[in-house]
């Protein structure tokens, strides 16, 4: 991809095929008070919209995910992040449902974000892009649906940052969503999570190639900083057990220690690989903006300090799902949401899935998780009389 | 909802449980809000949702049962009734159902109070420790009684607060709880003709079901 090539000015580089895009006709007034006009939303759809438009599922991607949730990714050539879950006959059966996944506002896969051109100046936004929030991301999605002529959504589903968006959907548009499934998420970013994000941001900003955010115009790429940010974050997505099972203390392509700082251990080699492949598909400034959006998310403080206020009288069906070994968004976070929803007698289900795979379990083959998700969504569709395939 | 099978309560292993669930189900008015506390895999809830069109919610401590219930499209959360009932607002439900569980709680009085705080009516069923077979077993055997209904040893039973029917009636009285309806059940779960709150039931019933409301 062109973002990694230092010889091609990114601002004028041709985009690879990033699928469908819509330019929002309505301006987007951001939570910060700033207004964005001509916002582009890049999105993918899977399945067919039925005549009643009653089979819409909005899937929200996580921090470094994008709209290419299934099939082969156009840039990495790997399977989409939810290829196990979304597709014909799969957990979210595209023979029955019409699934929409949009690249978030501030993202770098075709939606308006810091690496895109600011139409007012003709230059890449860079750090002149306004700070965006989870609320802004969801507002952009809602406007996308407006333009696609879709009113009510059967279900909004997402993991991690996608869970935050699902909660925001339920909070902002309770009449517009029948159900939401926040997976491995929280109603607010914890101090520990903000701390990890700050490490990532500082790694990026410490890279001289970052150049105060102007690297695109200067044809530079802050690869090292972004890679280190990714490496640190990647550890938080796994669990000690999963890391140990996968790597232990095994050595990488060698039989003895080298008494140097090369990647002696497989786990080091793995993390370096994770870091350096990440920079091929992700924009460093986007990483700053999106992590900031997650840090700012706090549905409790926005609602007088009580999360339950965010969902008073909510007609939305909730299904919270967490994983036992997730220490980034531990079960206690989901349980706090359940307690708040109980306090307003909302319709809520809550399942904690046994898994030793850490936060990333929501992306992996976890049969109990899949069974739960399928049952909940199909139950909602049956209640809404969505035709079975 | 999934397509209701014609007899969704029939797949339960025990006849007694099946009959008791049916009795409880019959006590619930259609189109009401129901919280089944200790709902298991949602057998009663799915019946109530399908045949009584209730807004069915469940609370269950076992994660595998919660998963089974949610996978059927039921609204069930994993939680502990002794800590989690307090979250619900007053009058959130028309019925709170607690089947064969009150005797296994740490604080039955508080649980009972919470049930009637969050729901207009509580439907509570209990094993009767006053049954003649239990009395006989203790009198003659001199050891803690074990029956088909109460099969555990004293040291591993979850039933830490067993009571007789008369004990329970006394508790209701002391808490200003009105027993609106009551049913004495045989070992097979069959309804008995005598009053469920009298000495006969206390001696001859294996269990009883009560519909409770707050005394006005």
* ipTM of predicted complex: 0.85
Q: Reply yes or no on whether the pLDDT at A10 is more than 70.
A: no
Q: Catalytic: A359?
A: yes
Which residues of chain B neighbour A345 with C-beta distances below 8 Å? 33, 88-89, 92-93
Task: Name A42's bridge partners.
Answer: A21
| Interface contact A351-B84, CB threshold 8 A | no
pTM of structure:
0.91
Q: How far apart are CA A39 and CA A60, in angstroms?
A: 18
What average pLDDT does this structure show over A62-79? 94
B44 Cβ under 8 Å from any chain A Cβ: no
What average pLDDT does this structure show over A266-273? 96
**All domains in chain A, ordered by first residue:** 8-188+299-383 (3.40.50.1820), 194-291 (1.10.1740.110)
For B77, the closest of A338, A353, A375 (CB atoms) is A338
Q: Catalytic: A326?
A: yes
A371 Cβ under 8 Å from any chain B Cβ: yes
Domain spans of chain B? 8-129+162-214
Q: pLDDT class for B148, splitting at 50, 70, 90?
A: confident
| Interface contact B66-A351, CB threshold 8 A | yes
pLDDT given for residue A147 in this prediction: 96
pLDDT given for residue A5 in this prediction: 35
| Interface contact A348-B77, CB threshold 8 A | yes
Q: How far apart are CA B38 and CA A156, in angstroms?
A: 29
For B1, the closest of A350, A352, A383 (CB atoms) is A383
CATH H superfamily, domain B8-129+162-214:
Vaccinia Virus protein VP39 (3.40.50.150)
Q: pLDDT class for B192, splitting at 50, 70, 90?
A: confident
Choosing from A61, A171, A197, A359, the catalytic residue is A359
pLDDT given for residue B16 in this prediction: 63
pLDDT given for residue B18 in this prediction: 75
Q: How many CA atoms lie within 13 A of B116 on its CB side?
A: 20
Chain A residue closest in CA terms to B35: A345
Chain A residue closest in CA terms to B118: A345
| Interface contact B73-A347, CB threshold 8 A | no
Q: pLDDT class for B12, splitting at 50, 70, 90?
A: very low
Which pair of tokens denotes residue A230?
């990714």
Q: Catalytic: A160?
A: yes
Q: How far apart are CA A251 and CA B44, in angstroms?
A: 55
A337 Cβ under 8 Å from any chain B Cβ: no
How many beta-carbon pairs below 8 A join chains A and B? 72
pLDDT given for residue A34 in this prediction: 97
What average pLDDT does this structure show over A365-388? 96
| Interface contact A375-B72, CB threshold 8 A | yes
Which pair of tokens denotes residue A57?
């599922």
| Interface contact B73-A317, CB threshold 8 A | no
Choosing from A54, A111, A160, A322, the catalytic residue is A160
pLDDT in tens, B17-66: 678 888 999 999 999 999 999 999 999 999 999 999 999 999 999 999 99
Q: Reply yes or no on whether the pLDDT at B10 is more than 60.
A: no
| Interface contact A348-B1, CB threshold 8 A | no
- Greater model confidence, A75 or A149: A149
- Three-state DSSP string of chain A: CHHHCCCCCHHHCCCCCCCEEEECCCCEECCCCCEECCCEEEEEEECCCCCCCCCEEEEECCCCCCCCCCCECCCCCCECCCCCCEECCCCEECCCCEEEEECCCCCCCCCCCCCCEECCCCEECHHHCCCCCHHHHHHHHHHHHHHHCCCCEEEEEEECHHHHHHHHHHHHCCCCEEEEEEECCCCECCHHHHHHHHHHHHHHHHCHHHHHHCCCCCCCCCHHHHHHHHHHHHHHHCCHHHHHHHCCCCECCCCCCCCCCCCCEHHHHHHHHHHHHHCCCCCHHHHHHHHHHHHHCECCHHHCCCHHHHHCCCCCEEEEEEECCCCCCCHHHHHHHHHHHHHCCCEEEEEEECCCCHHHHHHCCCHHHHHHHHHHHHHHHHHCCCCCC
């Amino acid at each position: 991809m062109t973002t990694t090539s230092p010889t091609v000015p990114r601002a004028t580089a041709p985009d690879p095929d990033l699928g469908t895009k819509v330019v929002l006709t309505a301006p987007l007034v951001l939570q910060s008070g700033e207004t964005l006009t001509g916002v582009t939303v890049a999105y993918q759809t899977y399945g067919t919209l039925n005549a009643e438009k009653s089979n819409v599922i909005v899937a929200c991607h996580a921090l470094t995910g994008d709209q290419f949730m299934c099939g082969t990714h156009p840039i990495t050539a790997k399977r989409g992040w939810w290829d196990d879950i979304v597709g014909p006959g799969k957990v979210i059966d595209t023979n029955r449902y019409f699934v929409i996944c949009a690249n978030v506002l501030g993202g770098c896969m075709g939606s308006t974000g810091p690496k895109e051109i600011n139409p007012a100046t003709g230059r890449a936004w860079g750090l002149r892009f306004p700070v965006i929030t989870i609320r802004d991301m969801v507002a952009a999605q809602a406007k996308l649906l407006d333009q696609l002529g879709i009113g009510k959504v059967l279900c909004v589903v997402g993991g991690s940052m996608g869970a935050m968006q699902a909660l925001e959907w339920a909070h902002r548009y309770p009449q517009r969503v029948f159900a939401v499934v926040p997976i491995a998420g929280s109603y607010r970013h914890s101090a520990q999570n903000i701390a990890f994000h700050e490490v990532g941001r500082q790694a990026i900003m410490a890279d001289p190639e970052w150049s105060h955010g102007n690297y695109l115009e200067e044809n530079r790429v802050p690869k090292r900083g972004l890679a280190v940010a990714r490496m640190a974050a990647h550890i938080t997505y796994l669990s000690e057990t999963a890391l140990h099972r996968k790597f232990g203390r095994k050595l990488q392509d060698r039989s003895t220690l080298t008494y140097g700082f090369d990647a002696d251990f497989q786990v080091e080699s793995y993390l370096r690989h994770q870091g350096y492949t990440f920079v091929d598909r992700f924009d460093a400034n986007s990483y700053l903006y999106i992590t900031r959006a997650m840090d700012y998310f706090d549905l409790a403080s926005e609602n007088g300090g009580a999360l339950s206020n965010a969902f008073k009288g909510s007609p939305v069906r909730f299904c919270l799902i967490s994983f036992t070994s997730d220490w980034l968004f531990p079960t206690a976070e989901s349980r706090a949401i359940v307690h708040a929803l109980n306090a307003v007698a909302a319709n809520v289900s809550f399942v904690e899935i046994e898994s030793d795979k850490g936060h990333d379990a929501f992306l992996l083959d976890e049969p109990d998780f899949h069974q739960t998700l399928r049952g909940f969504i199909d139950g909602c569709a049956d209640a809404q009389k969505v035709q079975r395939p | 909802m999934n397509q209701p099978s014609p007899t969704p309560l029939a797949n339960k292993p025990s006849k007694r449980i099946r009959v008791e669930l049916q009795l409880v189900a019959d006590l619930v008015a259609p189109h009401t809000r129901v919280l089944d506390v200790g709902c298991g895999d949602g057998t009663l809830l799915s019946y109530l949702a399908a045949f009584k069109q209730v807004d069915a919610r469940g609370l269950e401590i076992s994660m595998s049962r919660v998963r089974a219930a949610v996978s059927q499209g039921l609204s069930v959360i994993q939680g502990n009734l002794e800590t989690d009932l307090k979250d619900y607002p007053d009058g959130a439900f028309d019925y709170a159902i607690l089947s064969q569980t009150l005797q296994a709680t740490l604080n039955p009085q508080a649980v009972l109070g919470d049930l009637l705080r969050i729901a207009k009516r509580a439907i509570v069923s209990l094993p009767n420790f006053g049954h003649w077979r239990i009395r006989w077993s203790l009198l003659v055997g001199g050891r803690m009684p074990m029956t088909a209904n109460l099969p555990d040893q004293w040291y591993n039973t979850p039933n830490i607060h067993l009571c007789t029917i008369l004990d329970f009636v006394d508790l209701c009285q002391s808490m200003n709880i009105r027993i609106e309806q009551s049913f004495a059940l045989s070992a097979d779960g069959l309804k008995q003709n005598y009053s469920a709150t009298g000495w006969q039931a206390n001696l001859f019933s294996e269990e009883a079901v009560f519909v409770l409301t707050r005394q006005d």
